[in-house]
Structure formats: C-alpha cells, structure tokens
Structure 1
Amino acid sequence: MADSASTERKQFLIGLTIALLGAILFSTKAIVAKLIYRYGVDAVTLIAFRMMFSLPFFIAIGVWQARTAVPLTRSEKGQIVILGLLGYYLSSFLDFLGLQYISVGLERLILFLTPSFVLLISIFVMKRKITLLEWAALGISYLGTVLVFVHDARIGGSNVALGSLLVLGSAISYAIYLLGSGELVKRVGALRLVAYAMCVSSVACIVQFFVLRPASMLLQPMAVYGLSMINGFFCTVMPVFLTMIAVDRIGAATASQAGMIGPVSILFLAALILDEPITAIQLAGTALVLCGIYLLSKKRV
C-alpha cells in the first residue's frame, strides 16, 4: 500500500510539473504577440500565422494517432469539433484581439480567472466537491497575482473596457474547454484529442483570415515570420500537448490551478524581453503564487 501511494504521489507531482511547464510556455504568447503587433499586424493575421506554423505538427501527430487508435464515434467527433472551436479558436482569437487594447499584465490578470471558472462550473454544473486545500491554494495565488498586476489594472486606455471584456470571454471559453477535454481525454487519449482539436482550430483561424483579409496580408517582414514560428511551436504546439497530458494525469481543475504560475512567469519574461522593471511588490506577489502552487502540490491524490 505504501509503495502504491508513493507511486501515485510521484505521478501526481510529475503531472503538476508538466502543467507548470505548459503554463509558462503558453503565457509567453502574450509577449510574442506584443512583439508582432509592433509590425502593424492585426489579431486576425497574427492568429492565422500562428496556426499556419503549428498546423503541420498537429496533422502529423493526428495521422500517427489515427493509425493505431480505435475509430471515433459520431458523438466524439462532434465533441472534438466543439472543443476545437471553443478552446483554441474562440479563446485564442478573443485573447489576441483583447491584447491590442490592454497591457500584457492586465491580460494575464484577467486570464488568471480561468481556474475559478473551472472550479465554479465544476461545483454548479458537474456537482464536484472542492477541498479546502484547493480553495486555499487558489486564494493565496489570487492575492499574489493581484499584487503583481494591480498597477497594470489601474492603467487605462480608451479601449481598456473593450479589451478586458474580450479577454474575459477568452478565459471563460478556455475554462469550458478544459472541463470538456477533461471528460473526453479519458476515452480518446491526450495526444489524439489535442491533435484533432487543434486541427479544427487551425482550419477555423486560417479560413477566418481568408474571409476577412486579402491574401496580400500574407506578405510580412521576415521578423513577423520568425516570431510567428516561435508563437506556433513554443507557445502553441508544446504547451497544448503538455497541458492535455497534465489534464490526463491530474485532472482539469488541478491542471488549471497549476496554470497560476503563468502570470508570474510573464514578469521575468517581460523583464528579459521587453525590458520591463520588476518591483518589490511584484516579487512579493511571485512568492505568494509559488506558495499557492506548493499547497496544491500537497493535495492528496
């Protein structure tokens, strides 16, 4: 029994580590987006390039998985299409659109609401019981993130309300995706589900571009292509697979809570890439978020 508990504990911590790494990589998309926006690229074009560069990887993995996997039912196919449109089409599009109007810090703060949406949906829709430890971890990390980004929230522009609402919609959409994928991944498999859902999302984003923008918009400076490749692989392909593997190992609610490291990681990445200063308040908030994640790691499995 002791060996079994030790093995389960080890697997849980491995899953949590995978979730943390996925959250950090996924958070960098906001910084990459800000760099791309400097070249006059809009959200529709940005997300189209992102998916164009990531789509070949998802197609390859999808084909590989399909060769040995059990055929999907009609219901599972429908669920995958819905999840693909919710999770990485609608959510990503609203996020990148909102980033045109608000700072990276405020965007991260709003997206940090995702775990609470996951928990609330779990409570009221799926009738799941939330432990006191989970609430404590979430509360402490919320406090840390508020400290980190409070100054960003106070900085307003003419379109800050619009940008905030767009990113809020992104957070809600992604929360629904996480919960839906958590139920489906057990039957379909993590790699297969991500590959199929991302193919759906990629096609939707690319079709949207050609419907709303002229083909001439595909001609961009080389820097845009380079940043889009980074956005496509390191900020999309890797984190979505890491997140889905984590959901498979530790569940949607815990994986989403582990994503609390994302807003904090942005501090150091922004300082390194965008030369933004790190203050004592930001460091204090970082400590609180890490404390919350530590509490989460002590959750009994």
Structure 2
Amino acid sequence: MNETRRRQNQLIGLGMAIIGAILFSTKAIVAKLLYRYQLDAVTVIAFRMLFSLPVFACVAIWQARRHPKLDAIDRWRLLLLGLLGYYLSSFLDFLGLQFISAGLERLILFLTPSFVLTIHVIWFKRRVRSIEFLSLGLAYLGIVLVFMHDLSFLGTSVVLGSGLVLGSAIAYASYLILSGEMVARIGPLRLVSYAMCVSSIACLLQFVLLKPLSTLVQPQVVLSLSFVNAIVCTVFPVFLTMFAIQRIGAATASQAGMIGPVSTLILGVFILNEPISGWQIVGSCLVMIGMYLLSKK
C-alpha cells in the first residue's frame, strides 16, 4: 500500500511539473499575441504583474503571519533578488520576444543551468568535467542552428532579441545562485512570494514613469490575454513547480521541464504560424539533450 501511494505521489508530482512547464512556456505565445495589438514590453509586463500581484501579495501576507519577521539584511537581499530574478529577467525576456520567435526564446532560457555552471566556474573556480563539456557543446550547437534558422526568416533583429533574452537567462541564473542559501533558510514559498511582490511593484512603477495611465484602457481581448499571461502562465506554473519539487525533487522536476521548449515550438507553429524547419528541430533536440545531460549530472 505504501509503495502504491509513493508511486501515485510521484505521478502527481511529475504531472504538476509537466503542466507547470507547459503553462510557463505558453507565456511567450501569449506575449507574441499581445504584441499584435501594438503593445510594447513595458505595457505587457505591467499588465502581467497587475493581475498577478494580488495573488502573490495574499501569499506573502499569509507567509508573513506564519513566520517571524525578516531582519534588515534579509529584507535587502529579497529586494535585490526580486529586482534581479523577476523584474530584470522578465523585462529583458519580454523585450527580446519582440524580435525573435517564441521557440528560440524558450530554448535560450532553457540554457539557464549552463549559465549557472559558467558562473560557478568563473566566480567560484569550479572545475568542469568532461560530461559537462559535452552537454554544453551540444546545447550551444543546437542554439546556433536555431539562431541561424531565425536569422534567415526574421533578419538581423534576431541578434538584438537573442542578446536580450540571453541577458534574461544570465540574470535569472544569478538569481538562482544568490537565492540558494536563502531559499533553504526561509523556504521557497516565502521567498518567491516576497520576490514576486518586489518585481510586480518595480514593473508597475516603471509603467507609471514611462507610459500615460490612459494606456491601461485596452480592448477586452488585450485584458483577457493579459489575465491569462498573469494567472495561467505565471501564478499557476510557479506554484505547480514548487509543489512538484516537494513531491519528486528538483532534479526530476527540472528534467520534466524539458517539455517546455517542445510545447513552445508546437504552439508557435499552430497559433503564431511561425516557420519551422528540419534544422530547427535538430537544434532544439541538441539543446534538450545537452541540458538533460547537465541536469542528470
């Protein structure tokens, strides 16, 4: 009976990780649809945070009542993590999506573990093993193939877009490294809810400073897509992934997340009519194999 429950628990956790990865990857598709209504990244991300902030604020208040107050140093760390991991990373990502395909965006973000490794090598003088070299080589070769595919269809703007999304991935990798000790000490739910509140406030302040408030008046379709972007593509995957990690562990949840780039590629073809070629499929497979090898290690 215990074995049956354990297997059920693992299947539920795996399902949560897969659904979370698909929903989070759908963010790129929704953002591309929103850009068709002459919105820019500042407005798209402001609507995303406007709709998601109440949920994260409720969770943050709940967590604050259940735990002792953070000291001044931890509050400053949370401020930094929120600005780095969810504000800067998200903003660069949405900026980049204006210039590249949803499939290439998802693959570049999928390289985040390789940037975590790179930062450890440069900053902490960590040695790189042969299997890690192999995984990085496969992943970056795959990115080059997909990049060249996008370059042939979308032109030189792909260079700018890829650079912005690359910056997003590096910012998030830095967040993961800096948050490692803190997430173990105060818990993932508390850290994420606090950091998302910081990020949401920063995005909304940016909107107020750069855009007239009249920009908030948008057609119903824009508001509906923004709500989906906030709740379905942000809030749900954040909590689903955390619950999945509790059930099956971070390593297995990370490997289940490999479905994300595949789902983005498929949705990009059917919803956005993005072109797809054999080279793009090969490149995507190389990236996923490389990151699979790295996550296994």
Q: TM-score w.r.t. structure 2 length?
A: 0.82
| Structure 2 match to 1:271 | 269
Aligned to 1:184: 182
Tell me, yes or no, if the aligned pair for 1:109 and 1:146 is still in contact at 8 Å. Answer: no
Aligned to 2:84: 86
Offset, 1:30: 1.2
Report the Cα distance in structure 2 between the residues aligned to 1:88 and 1:230, rounded to whole angstroms: 18
Q: Distance in 2 between matches of 1:213 and 1:141?
A: 39
- Flag the 1:206–1:118 CA change in 2: closer, same or farther, 3 A: same
Instruction: Determine helix, strand or coil for the equivalent of 1:41.
Output: coil
Aligned-residue RMSD, C-alpha = 3.4
Alignment partner, residue 75 of structure 2: 77
Structure 2 partner of 1:250? 250
Residue of structure 2 in register with 1:237 after alignment: 235
Q: Secondary structure at the match of 1:155?
A: helix
CA separation of 1:235 and 1:114: change in aligned 2, threshold 3 A? same
For the 8 Å contact 2:149–2:280, the answer to whether it is kept is no
Alpha-carbon distance in 2 for matches of 1:274, 1:243: 26
The structural deviation recorded for 1:240 is 3.1
- Does the CA contact (< 8 Å) of 1:145 and 1:263 recur in 2? no
Matches within 5 A, 1:79-228: 79-128=77-126, 132-148=130-146, 150-157=148-155, 159-228=157-226
Q: Contact 2:255 / 2:295 at 8 angstroms: preserved in 1?
A: no
Partner of 2:64: 66
Matching residue within 27, 30, 39 for 1:29: 27
Matches of 1:65 and 1:241 in 2, distance apart?
14
Aligned partner of 1:202: which letter? S
SS of the aligned residue for 2:124 comes to coil
Q: Alpha-carbon deviations, 1:224-271, whole Å to 9, x = none?
A: 1111111101221123344556778437xx977775543332111212
Deviations 1:125-178 (A, max 9, x none): 234455554554454444455545541143343543333332222121111112
Pair 1:176–1:261, CA change in 2 (3 A): farther
Classify the secondary structure of the residue corresponding to 1:125.
helix
Q: In 2, Cα distance between the equivalents of 1:172 and 1:289?
A: 17
- Cα distance in 2 for residues equivalent to 1:244 and 1:138: 26
1:293 CA drift (Å): 5.9
CA separation of 1:142/1:164 partners in 2, compared to 1, >3 Å: closer, same or farther? closer
- Pair 43,293 (structure 1): closer, same or farther in 2 beyond 3 Å: closer
**Number of residues of Structure 1 aligned to a counterpart in Structure 2:** 291
More divergent stretch after superposition (183-192 vs 148-157): 148-157
Query: Following TM superposition, by how much is the alpha carbon of 1:74 offset from its aligned partner in structure 2, in angstroms?
Result: 1.4
Q: Is the 8 A contact 2:111 2:139 kept in 1?
A: no
Opposite residue 38 of structure 1, the aligned amino acid is R
CA contact (8 A) 1:29 1:231 kept: yes
Greater shift, 168-177 or 16-25, is seen at 16-25
Moved more, 59-68 or 160-169: 160-169
| Match in the other structure for 2:3 | none
AA at the equivalent of 2:236: M
Whole-Å separation in 2 of the counterparts to 1:256 and 1:194: 17
Over the matched positions of the two proteins, sequence identity in percent amounts to 62
Name structure 1 gaps, 5 residues minimum. Answer: 1-6
The residue type equivalent to 1:115 in the other structure is P
Structure 2: gaps of 5 or more residues: 1-5
Q: 1:129 and 1:296, CA in 2 relative to 1: closer, same or farther beyond 3 A?
A: same
Residue 269 of structure 1 aligns with an amino acid whose one-letter code is L
